[in-house]
Amino acid sequence: MQSLGFVRLMFAKPIIVTSWARCKYWNKMKKGKEDSFHLYGKAIDLKPQHGGITKDFIEICVEYFTWTKVYDGHIHCDIRGFRGLGQFLILEED
């Protein structure tokens, strides 16, 4: 996923990938949506290795992915082909 490379370069700090491509079984275990972009390798969940999720990290993710949703512990990013409402800062529980 090319967008991840750009995020890593722009953020210039270590990033942890908490979830990427999932099989149907693992997606169900993670309580993912049945049509999750993780099932197609088009979604990734990220968090900075050190410190919390910062405004800078959010802005970089929004710049390089078409959909970015902020949760309490990670950011879900995907490349669904259009920019959506998830671009707004939304805090939700994991």
Is residue 71 in a domain? Answer: yes
Residue 92: predicted pLDDT: 54
Residue 13: predicted pLDDT: 94
CATH (domain of 72): 3.30.1380.10
Residue 51: predicted pLDDT: 85
Which alpha helices (H) appear in 1-94, and where do they start and end? 2-11, 24-29, 55-64
Is residue 24 in a domain? Answer: yes
Say what the pTM is: 0.81
Domain residue limits at 49: 2-87
Is residue 67 in a domain? Answer: yes
Residues 6+ apart with CB under 8 A from 37: 43, 78, 79, 80
Q: What's the structural domain count of the chain?
A: 1
Is residue 92 in a domain? Answer: no
What is the residue-level pLDDT of the chain in tens, covering all 94 positions? 788 999 999 999 999 999 999 999 999 999 999 999 999 999 999 999 998 899 999 999 999 998 899 998 999 999 887 665 555 555 555 4
